[in-house]
Structure formats: structure tokens, C-alpha cells
């Protein structure tokens, strides 16, 4: 009789043990498993790398001036300059006084013959004037007449390619390139900065 009571108590003790211990083991280990799985499934986002910059300078900017501007910027020390590069062609441009911009644009819209309207990007405002940039337009006879009436001289940008090297280890992250671009855009002699050789 005593043996059967002991057996019953032993069975009850095992059941209570299982009821208490098993859930504890399951609930304490499952978050770790879940977090491990989530970590394993996460794919790190790789930032794009920039191999170089195309910089368009004001017409007449010398190679020495380009070097000086870049030396005074936050561009990494190891780079090479392809001055007046033939990798890409410069663009036609003209300077328009801030006060004349609206009048000049209105002239483009007059007349029977449609005159190609140039671009007035807000990021190409330099001091008290705007830079009109166009890859076409400037070859149009009517367009040139408008420019002449407003005493605007058509010029071409000096384009340079700044290379950070051929090896990926020398390239810079896009976030850093954006900061460099924003800095260079503030220079009066620099009109346009574009990324060259985006990899990622």
C-alpha cells in the first residue's frame, strides 16, 4: 500500500516538474532562436561606390585653378585630374542676371517659331546671376537672336574628370561623394558636378 502511494507521489512530482520546467525552457529559448533567425535573414545593404566625378567649370578656368580648387576641398588625397577631358563633352551656357531671367524666358516663348527653352536649375544660381545650360538650343538661329538682344554671351563649360583610381579599394562611398558634391557646388567657378563610375 505504501509503495503504491510513493509511486503516485513520484508520478505527480514528475508531472508538476514537467508542467513548470518545460514551458520555462520553451519560452526562454524561443526569443533567442527567433532573434538568431532574424539576424541570419537580414541582408546588409551595401552602399554604392563612386569611382570618379565629372565637374563642369566656368569657361576659361585653367588647369592650375582646377587643381587649387580641388586641393582646398575635402576630396580624398589620392585622385587624378583629366583636365578638359574628351570622355564627355562640355555644355553650352550663358550667364543671366537675376533680374533679367524672367524677361529672357518670356522672349523664348514669343514668336511663331518655337525656340527651345534652356534649363534654369535652381542649383546653378551663382551669386546674382543664373547659369543657362543647354545641350541643344544654342545652335538655333532664333535662340541666338534672343541671346544677342539681351547681350548674353554663349560659352562652353570646361569639363574635368576626377578619378579615384581603377581599383575598388580606392573608390568612395556615395554618401561621402554627395558631401563633396554639395561642397563643390558652392564654388563660383563650378557649375555642375556629376558622379562617374557608380558601382554597387
Higher pLDDT, 106 or 161: 161
Whole-angstrom Cα distance, residue 79 to residue 85? 15
Whole-angstrom Cα distance, residue 83 to residue 61? 10
Least confident of 14-23, 128-137, 152-161, 169-178: 14-23
Higher pLDDT, 160 or 133: 160
User: Residue 17: what pLDDT?
Assistant: 58
* In the chain, % of residues over pLDDT 90: 32
In sequence order, what are the beta bridge partners of 199?
49
User: Residue 198: what pLDDT?
Assistant: 77
Least confident of 73-82, 101-110, 131-140: 131-140
Whole-angstrom Cα distance, residue 11 to residue 6? 9
pLDDT at residue 180 tops 90:
yes
The mean predicted confidence, pLDDT, of the chain is 77
Whole-angstrom Cα distance, residue 104 to residue 181? 29
Q: Is the dihedral of CA 83, 85, 88, 93 positive or negative?
A: positive
User: Residue 34: what pLDDT?
Assistant: 47
Higher pLDDT, 170 or 111: 170
Most confident by average pLDDT, 62-66, 85-89, 135-139, 143-147? 62-66
Confidence bin at 38 (pLDDT 50/70/90) = very low
- Predicted TM-score (pTM) of the model is 0.69
57-67 pLDDT per residue, tens: 999 999 999 99
Are the beta carbons of 54 and 196 closer than 8 angstroms? yes
88-116 pLDDT per residue, tens: 878 888 888 888 877 777 776 665 455 55
pLDDT at residue 74 tops 70:
yes
Whole-angstrom Cα distance, residue 123 to residue 121? 5
Higher pLDDT, 145 or 40: 145
Amino acid at each position: 500500500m505504501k509503495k503504491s502511494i510513493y509511486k503516485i507521489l513520484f508520478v505527480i512530482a514528475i508531472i508538476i516538474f514537467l508542467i513548470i520546467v518545460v514551458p520555462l525552457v520553451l519560452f526562454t529559448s524561443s526569443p533567442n532562436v527567433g532573434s538568431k533567425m532574424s539576424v541570419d535573414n537580414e541582408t546588409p545593404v551595401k552602399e554604392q561606390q563612386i569611382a570618379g566625378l565629372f565637374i563642369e567649370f566656368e569657361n576659361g578656368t585653367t588647369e592650375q585653378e582646377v587643381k587649387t580648387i580641388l586641393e582646398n576641398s575635402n576630396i580624398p588625397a589620392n585622385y587624378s585630374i583629366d583636365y578638359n577631358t574628351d570622355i564627355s563633352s562640355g555644355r553650352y551656357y550663358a550667364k543671366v542676371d537675376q533680374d533679367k531671367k524672367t524677361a529672357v524666358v518670356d522672349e523664348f516663348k514669343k514668336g511663331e517659331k518655337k525656340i527651345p527653352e534652356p534649363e534654369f536649375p535652381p542649383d546653378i544660381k551663382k551669386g546674382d546671376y543664373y547659369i543657362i545650360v543647354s545641350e541643344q538650343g544654342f545652335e538655333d538661329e532664333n535662340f541666338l537672336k534672343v541671346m544677342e538682344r539681351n547681350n548674353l554671351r554663349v560659352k562652353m563649360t570646361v569639363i574635368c574628370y576626377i578619378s579615384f583610381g581603377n581599383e575598388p579599394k580606392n573608390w568612395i562611398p556615395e554618401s561621402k561623394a554627395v558631401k563633396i558634391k554639395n561642397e563643390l557646388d558652392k564654388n563660383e567657378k563650378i557649375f555642375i558636378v556629376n558622379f562617374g563610375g557608380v558601382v554597387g
